[in-house]
Structure 1
């Protein structure tokens, strides 16, 4: 609790994340099996690899590992997106990054709502990848008008949720009782509903235009379509899923397996076919496919230089493959990734030396003991003297190519499809009502704060130049 009597946004976010996980496990029992598999895999690796345990303990990630989740939702209108932004703000989550999935044939653009300070991320690393349907990409004017009219009739928030959002904005926070009510009311926005808001014929028209359009438009709200736990060994999870009754996608999205993981690797079990009742039906006679189980493994956040190298190597592997990665060419694609990524240094020292990744710096016991005795002219001198250690900053965000690959795998769309448009960050920001934050600047600031803290704790009275 804060001195004001309000519950901190971090605490609200942590409780909301747990409540959403419980709700989703009830809705999709296979998600519970996925959590068990991830927990077993993580525990095995932590017991067998002292170096991994040491790294996670040093960074504090070991404390957040079991509660780490990211969800994904899709909204239909700019009004819905603006209100979602206000809802997440109550939980201390801000829009970070812009993702255009149109070039991959997915008619949305997106941002990720998350906490932005490292202390808040340690308290709760819950994230929600949020996509806005681009109705202008529906090339059938009649169908576009139909979609707009359907969306205009719905309200995805309960009156209670809207009232509590307004109260938090007016008062600057929520009391413990109001926070508990807010979590209950907000969950209703993301709950699955078997009753569609459209007729079977309308659903078919929307579905034939694009399966994602039907998922966004045909239901009462932006049901959570996956809730992703974090694993420490995604290749083992991928291999184990089939044995647990899950049908894994063909390839793991992102970079290949490395000694020093970078960015984000993702896989999933394929979307479930679910019974739904259309507006002109008496019971759940229809079928809808959208929700699936996703798993992720997170690595080091890359600098602009590192990201440029990553993008170049990934694009080279996909260009040599010559088609979208599928079950048929999965083995060849994996080999091409390994071959291309030989050009990306696979040691923390080299990644830091070449400024390919962001790092968090820690004063060592030796450095703290020597603080009144020894002076150093730079951060590197403190590292060389053993007074400061470092670990890579974990990547907290997403990758457009990987997100598109997950979408396509679970929507069944042609991996080579394209939407006839270009992205527009300005349009998404206008819908949000605020600018999206630059994730690179967030990582740079976090790295800088850790350096400042090291210099303060190791040399509190020194006036030195820090070479970052």
Structure 2
């Protein structure tokens, strides 16, 4: 079948993200309230800050704001993760970044499936933070085997979605009708089920080991446990949550408020306590799903990330029971971190995307190397630099959100070393290094801007 008759991966991802949001709003009504809160805050922020609105529009970041979401799921076996990897590939999503949450007392390691190209991110940057349970961290041998046996007999995918994934892989795409069916079938994997697959005693035994283990093992599938809209002012969102009938977690995770946001800040509200029917008709309650809001800033280079990590480590001695006090302490610590775009760019602490402004050709006497030429063109106004949005996650923030919604803010201590190779084996593909990805986007944008302004094909430009 000719490729032009296939639906693009970005379009399938956009349809899936919309269907996921509708499903989650039906399952967790307070999520709808969260969307209203975020929309109100974003509208007010853009109205109060026209420069930010212009900057986002120029960088093509404004259109994606209202549809932007990330979700999170947890699976139990390598086989489940491998099939999810194939499912996400249909939507143009690849695994980026390795996260070891065991070091924070959460018995999983994770990656984030997301689009990786600038053009497709602009259409819909939907991300799924996906964690694989580490059964090896269950200390009780009998309980570990029991969990493995339960997981071995479940199938979290519908037969039809398996067929469509195989068809996509064989044919190179899906037709309109197949794409719609794919979305409807794929959503079933992430749906909430009130019926547990185990009896209450088994659930309690697994929960006593770790609540997350019970959440992963005891149900028919990896129900989506949160969807996260993006706000432009998370401090305003945190303050406004009680006005919308939402109780926020104690502190905002991540860096402090800044003129130039960096990386990722997150807050959430407590998980729902939901009715569950266990095998044998025993009634019980389970806590897993919650609401979350995020604010995204510029992606940091390895040097920028090293500075961020050092400063955040220095903040770990401060109490985290009052947000205003904690944010004030963070702000003081982070005064060392430059807070303007030009300094971040010149010191190579953050990544930027370069864009030609106009069609004037570069002077023949301009520097031959890319970096010097770019600096000259920036100074003359022929090139503009846009901060690259951080599309990934912070291990500390992820663990903090996990713990707070499992009923504890205690980090705990991990008992096993991380194993990226193990996760990659389950995925059936390498995990993309986010630093390398951002660096490639930056380098490609420099070359494209120079090619346009010099009027030369890439092969004819100076190396």
TM range (shorter): over 0.9
Shift of 1:415: 1.5
2:8 equivalent in structure 1: 8
In the alignment, is residue 336 of structure 1 matched against residue 326 of structure 2? no
1:124 equivalent in structure 2: 124
1:269 equivalent in structure 2: 269
Question: Which moves more between the two structures, 441-450 or 219-228?
Answer: 441-450
State the Cα deviation string for residues 181-216 of structure 1 (Å, max 9, x = none).
100000000000011111111111111110101110
Unaligned residue ranges in structure 2 (runs of 5+):
368-372
Q: Tell me which of 259, 282, 286 is aligned to 2:284.
A: 286
1:458 equivalent in structure 2: 453
Shift of 1:122: 0.9
State the Cα deviation string for residues 375-395 of structure 1 (Å, max 9, x = none).
632110111111111111000
**What secondary structure, in the 3-state scheme, does the structure 2 residue paired with 1:186 have?**
helix
Instruction: Classify 1:38/1:330 alpha carbon distance in 2 versus 1 (closer, same or farther; 3 Å).
Output: closer
Q: TM-score, normalised by structure 2?
A: 0.96
State the Cα deviation string for residues 104-144 of structure 1 (Å, max 9, x = none).
10000000000111111111100000000000100011111
Alignment of 1:205-284 (within 5 A): 205-281=205-281
1:376 equivalent in structure 2: 366
In the alignment, is residue 192 of structure 1 matched against residue 192 of structure 2? yes
1:356 equivalent in structure 2: 349
Q: Tell me which of 317, 320, 329 is aligned to 1:326.
A: 320
Unaligned residue ranges in structure 1 (runs of 5+):
none
**What secondary structure, in the 3-state scheme, does the structure 2 residue paired with 1:197 have?**
strand
Q: TM-score, normalised by structure 1?
A: 0.95
The whole-number CA distance in structure 2 between the counterparts of 1:45 and 1:326 is 27
The whole-number CA distance in structure 2 between the counterparts of 1:459 and 1:143 is 66
The whole-number CA distance in structure 2 between the counterparts of 1:350 and 1:464 is 29
CA contact 2:271–2:288 (8 Å) conserved in 1: yes
2:394 equivalent in structure 1: 399
Shift of 1:418: 1.3
TM-align CA RMSD: 1.6
In the alignment, is residue 303 of structure 1 matched against residue 301 of structure 2? yes
The whole-number CA distance in structure 1 between the counterparts of 2:167 and 2:154 is 23
State the Cα deviation string for residues 342-390 of structure 1 (Å, max 9, x = none).
010000010011000000112223xx2x327676321101111111111
State the Cα deviation string for residues 208-265 of structure 1 (Å, max 9, x = none).
1101011101100000000000000000000111111111001110000000000000
1:422 equivalent in structure 2: 417
State the Cα deviation string for residues 80-109 of structure 1 (Å, max 9, x = none).
000110110111111001000011100000
